[in-house]
Amino acid sequence: MEEAITAGRVTINGKTALTGQPVAPGDRVKVDGRLVYLKFSSRLPRVLLYHKPEGEIVSRDDPQHRPSVFAALPRLSGARWVAVGRLDFNSSGLMLFTTSGELANRLMHPRYELAREYAVRVLGELTPEARQRLLRGIDLSDGPARLSTLDEAGGDGANHWYRVSLSEGRNREVRRLFEAIGVTVSRLMRVRYGPIALPPRLRRGQSLELGERDIRQLMADLGMVSEDRK
C-alpha cells in the first residue's frame, strides 16, 4: 500500500493520499479509482497502570538479563503491551502501558505537552540560584531542558524531597538536570503522567487496569474518539 501511495494511486475523499495520512471511519479510500472498504475496530484499547519498582528495566530484550517490567504485567492474547515512555533502571513509580500504538504515541508526543511529575530526593537543599537554573533552563548534551515546576516536599535529616514536573520525557532528563547543577538524585519516583496520577493504594510491582469510562476520557483529552462513540 505504501508503494501505491507514493505512486499517487491512492485517494482519500477525492484527494491524493500522503504517506502516513490517517484514515477515519467514513472516509472514502480508492486505489486506482476503485473504492476500498476498510474495517475499523470498535473495541477500546486497554490501558494499564503499573507501579514500577527500582531494579526493573523497561525492555523485553536485555543482554544483562535484568528483571523486566513486562514480566510483571498481565498476559495478553492476540495483543501486546506497549510502554508509554520509560523509567530508568534505578527509578520507580508510575508507568503506563496500552494495547494501542496510536494511543501510546499520542501520550508521548511533544505536541500534547503532557506533564510528567516526579518526587525527587537529594542530599541537602537547593539554593535559590540552583532552583532558578533548573526552572530557567540548562543546556544538556541533547539540547536545552528545564523543569516546568519545582516545589518543596519536605525531608528528614540531610535528605530533602522536591516535587518537579516537565513536559517531555528524554532519557534520564530529571537526573541529568540535577547533575548539571552539581546535585545527585538519590531517589526518583514518577507520581503522575498527564492526567493520570499514581494511585496511593497501588503498591510497587502491582498493576491496575483503567475502566472504560477513564479510557474514553483519556482518548477524548487527546483528540481521539472510539468508533463505538461515533
Please state, in angstroms and rounded to a whole number, the distance separating the CA atoms of residues 55 and 69.
9
Query: Which residue among 32, 61, 88, 139 is the active-site one?
Result: 88
For 15-34, the pLDDT digits (tens) are 998 876 766 656 788 999 98
Q: What's the mean per-residue pLDDT of the chain? A: 90
Q: Where are the domains of the chain?
A: 2-36, 43-113+197-230, 115-193
Q: How confident is the model at residue 230 (pLDDT cuts 50, 70, 90)?
A: very low
Evaluate whether the domain defined by 2-36 bears CATH number 1.10.3720.10.
Answer: no
Residues 6+ apart with CB under 8 A from 193: 84, 85, 94, 95, 96, 107, 114, 116, 117
For 132-177, the pLDDT digits (tens) are 999 999 999 999 999 999 999 988 778 999 999 999 888 999 999 9
> Domain 43-113+197-230 falls in which CATH fold?
Pseudouridine synthase (3.30.2350)
- The answer to whether 221 is a known catalytic residue is no
- pLDDT score of 147: 97
Please state, in angstroms and rounded to a whole number, the distance separating the CA atoms of residues 114 and 96.
13
pLDDT over 70 at 41, yes or no: no
Asked if the domains at 43-113+197-230 and 115-193 fall in one CATH topology, the answer is yes
Which residue has cell 490501558?
Answer: 47
For 103-128, the pLDDT digits (tens) are 999 999 888 889 999 999 999 889 99
pLDDT over 50 at 227, yes or no: no
- pLDDT score of 138: 96
CATH number, domain 115-193: 3.30.2350.10
- Mean pLDDT of the region 48-76: 95
Give the rounded percent of residues in the chain with a pLDDT score beyond 90: 70
Residue 110 sits at φ, ψ, to 5 deg, of -60, -25
